[in-house]
Amino acid sequence: MTYPKVMLIFILIAIMSGAFAANNLRDGEKLVYDIKYGIVSAAEASLELNSMTFQGKPVWQIVSNSSTYSFFDVFFKVRDKVESLWEKDTLLPIRFTKRLNEGSYKQIRVHNYDHVSGRSLYQRWNFKRGKFTNKDIKIPKDTQDIFSAFYLVRIMDLMPGRNVVLNITADGKSIDTEIVVHRLETIDSIFGRKECLVIEPKMKGEAIFKQSGRIWIWITNDEYKVPLKMESEISFGSFVAILKSAENVPYRQQ
């Protein structure tokens, strides 16, 4: 259960574009998901949104933490942390950091975005040498990181039948991703019955993450676009993420 397996169903919620609605993001919001493989609860993943100042600019700090449950650690232990600093005024990312710890695999990667020059300093930590290797790459106009895209979609107007595209720069690559907005569907949730938009992200060309199957996401069909459920096919089964708790959201848990 590597990063692309546990986290991808979260990450790809974000990859959309459309007309902007009112900004309904809430400082202090926290979403926590139970990740199931089959009928087994294997991991927990959270997303937190907080206001802060970075380099003199007001930003949203988006933090995701993912970890397998203790009993599943015996099979494959995951302890991942991902952070995005997203400028409030421009709605563009400033810095994106991944710290992954998955079994014997470890990774630290950083993107520092300069949208004025259209460049990004991409850094990968070399554990043998104990230092970063740096690469300067060109980035498209208005590109997002993975998690800034997740929150960007929540201030957009979406509707079934309208496919949209957004560019994402991560892991040294910039990828256009099409989002298919399939249909409306009402599902059970911790907030009771909620009408949702069912969406499916499709990366164009060489994907940032290796996908072995399709991904579907259920987001509330309102101005808040809260993701309630996610399903992801993989080569040896499927994962389902269900929202199990939430803080500072506009709904009452039942």
210-226 pLDDT tens trace? 455 788 999 999 999 99
pLDDT at site 118: 97
pLDDT at site 84: 97
Provide the residue range defining the domain that includes 200.
Answer: 3-244
pLDDT at site 212: 55
Query: Is the pLDDT at 129 greater than 80, yes or no?
Result: yes
For the segment 18-23, the average pLDDT, to the nearest whole number, is 49
Least confident of 7-11, 27-31, 191-195, 225-229: 7-11
Task: Specify the CATH number for the domain of residue 225.
Answer: 2.40.360
Tokens 């060489």, residue located: 206
More confident position, 110 or 151: 110
User: 211 in helix, strand or coil?
Assistant: coil
User: 13 in helix, strand or coil?
Assistant: helix
Whole-angstrom distance, CA of residue 21 vs CA of residue 223: 7
Query: Is the pLDDT at 20 greater than 90, yes or no?
Result: no
Q: Hey, what amino acid is at 165?
A: V
More confident position, 78 or 236: 78
Q: What is the pLDDT of residues 61-106, one digit of tens each?
A: 999 999 999 999 998 899 999 999 999 999 999 999 999 988 888 9
Establish if 62 belongs to a structural domain: yes
Burial of 86 (0-12, 13-18, 19+ CB in 10 A): buried
pLDDT at site 157: 87
For the segment 47-56, the average pLDDT, to the nearest whole number, is 96
User: 70 in helix, strand or coil?
Assistant: helix
pLDDT at site 14: 40
How confident is the prediction for the chain on average, in pLDDT?
A: 86
Q: Which residues partner with 113 through β-bridges?
A: 120
More confident position, 158 or 16: 158
Establish if 171 belongs to a structural domain: yes
Establish if 252 belongs to a structural domain: no
Give percent of the chain above pLDDT 90.
60
How many domains, in total, are found in the chain? Answer: 1
pLDDT at site 115: 97
Q: What φ, ψ does residue 70 adopt, rounded to 5°?
A: -55, -40
More confident position, 182 or 210: 182
Establish if 250 belongs to a structural domain: no
